[in-house]
Amino acid sequence: MRPLAPRFLAAIAACIIAFACGSVPTFADGIAFISPIQRPALAVAVNDTLRDSLGRVAPLRVFAFDQNDDTLRGVTPSFLVVTLPAGVKVDANGIVTAFDSIRRVQVIGRVGARLQTEAVTLEVVAPPDLMAPTGTIAPLALAATSSPLQVTITGDRKGTRIPVSGIVVRYKIDSTVPSVTVDPARFFFTEGVRSDLTTSFDTTDAGTTSRSIIASDIVGIDTIIVRATAKNLKGEALPSVRFAIPVKKGA
C-alpha cells in the first residue's frame, strides 16, 4: 500500500523532521519518515464531524514509511489543535468534531515522540446549502479569456447567510448552441484538468471561486455552456449553476 508518492513524502519529511544531511535515520518501530496530514475534506460544519466526499464520517490520517518507502502498518498517530481557542476537538482515532463557532483552525500530527507534521488548516463553516452565480458574463472573442465564471457558496448561520470556504467546485464545459462536440482543442479552461481541459476544479475562498475559458475556434457557435457543481459536507449535491457565454459576433 502506497497512498502517496514516496519521493514527495521524503521531501516533505526532510522539512518536517530535524536531522543532519546524510543517510535517512530510522526511528522507533522502523519508521524513516511520515506523510503530511491527509484530510478527507477541507471544511467541517459547525456542530458536526469531518466527513469525506460521500458524506461519511472520516478521520485525519498520517502514514508512516520505512527506508524502502513501504507503508508501515499499526502506526497510530495523534493530533493536536494548535489554534486557540480550538473550535474543534480530535479524538484518538483522528475524528474531528467541530463546536458551534465559525473559524479557521490548524492541526498538527505526531507519530511517537520525535516525528511531527507541518500544520494543516481546517475551515469550520456553516453547512453549505446554496450556490449562486455572481458577476456578469461578457461576449467571448476568439482566443480571448472569458469573464470570470464566478460562484459563491453560502450557508445559513442563525438566520444570516454567510460565505462558506473550503468547498470544492467542479466546472465543466457542458455543451454549445448550436450543439457541436465539446472539443478541448476548440475551447478549454485556463486552469483545466491535465487529462481533460474541458474540466476544472477550484476551492471556495471566503465562499467564492471562479474559472475562465478560452476559445481557439468559435466557427458555428453562438453560445458556450459551462456548468458548475458542488456538494454539501454530507455528500449531497447543491443546486448547480449554469453559465451561458455568448460568442462575440465577427470575432
**Which residue shows C-alpha cell 474559472?**
211
110 and 145 together in one domain: no
Report the DSSP pairing between strands 115-116 and 103-111.
antiparallel
User: Is the per-residue pLDDT at 82 higher than 70?
Assistant: yes
User: Is the per-residue pLDDT at 132 higher than 50?
Assistant: yes
146 and 234 together in one domain: yes
Q: What is the DSSP letter of 16?
A: H
Render pLDDT for 238-251 as a digit per residue (tens, 0 to 9).
999 999 999 987 64
The torsion angle over the Cα atoms of residues 174, 179, 184 and 186, rounded to 10 degrees, is -130
Residue 31 in domain:
yes
- Grid coordinates in use for 153? 457558496
Between residues 229 and 74, the one the model is more confident about: 229
User: Is the per-residue pLDDT at 31 higher than 50?
Assistant: yes
116 and 28 together in one domain: yes
Residue 67 in domain:
yes
180 and 76 together in one domain: no
Render pLDDT for 37-76 as a digit per residue (tens, 0 to 9).
999 999 999 999 999 999 999 999 999 998 888 999 888 9
CATH code of 118's domain: 2.60.40.1080
Residue 251 in domain:
no
73 and 156 together in one domain: no
Render pLDDT for 142-184 as a digit per residue (tens, 0 to 9).
999 999 999 999 999 999 999 999 999 999 999 999 999 999 9
**Which residue shows C-alpha cell 450557508?**
155
37 and 142 together in one domain: no
Contact in structure between 43 and 124 (CB atoms under 8 Å): yes
User: Is the per-residue pLDDT at 127 higher than 50?
Assistant: yes
Between residues 105 and 13, the one the model is more confident about: 105
User: Is the per-residue pLDDT at 211 higher than 60?
Assistant: yes
139 and 113 together in one domain: no
Report the DSSP pairing between strands 96-98 and 88-90.
antiparallel
Under the banding of pLDDT at 50, 70 and 90, the label for residue 192 is confident
Q: What is the DSSP letter of 39?
A: P
pLDDT score, position 114: 85
Contact in structure between 35 and 3 (CB atoms under 8 Å): yes
Among residues 71, 96, 125, which one ends one of the domains?
A: 125
Under the banding of pLDDT at 50, 70 and 90, the label for residue 25 is low
108 and 152 together in one domain: no
164 and 63 together in one domain: no
Q: Give Cα separations from 51 to 56, 83, 112, 170 (angstroms).
A: 5, 21, 26, 18
CATH code of 147's domain: 2.60.40.10
138 and 217 together in one domain: yes
229 and 209 together in one domain: yes
Among residues 125, 160, 190, which one ends one of the domains?
A: 125
Tell me how many domains the chain contains.
2
160: domain range? 128-246
Residue 1 in domain:
no
Q: Give the integer Cα–Cα distance in Å for 96 and 155.
A: 20
Helix/strand/coil percent split, the chain, to 5 = 5, 45, 50
Amino acid at 196: D
Among residues 94, 125, 156, which one ends one of the domains?
A: 125
Average pLDDT value over all residues in the chain: 89
pTM of the full structure: 0.84
Instruction: Report the range of poorest mean pLDDT among 27-36, 42-51, 114-123, 126-135.
Output: 27-36
Residue 143 in domain:
yes
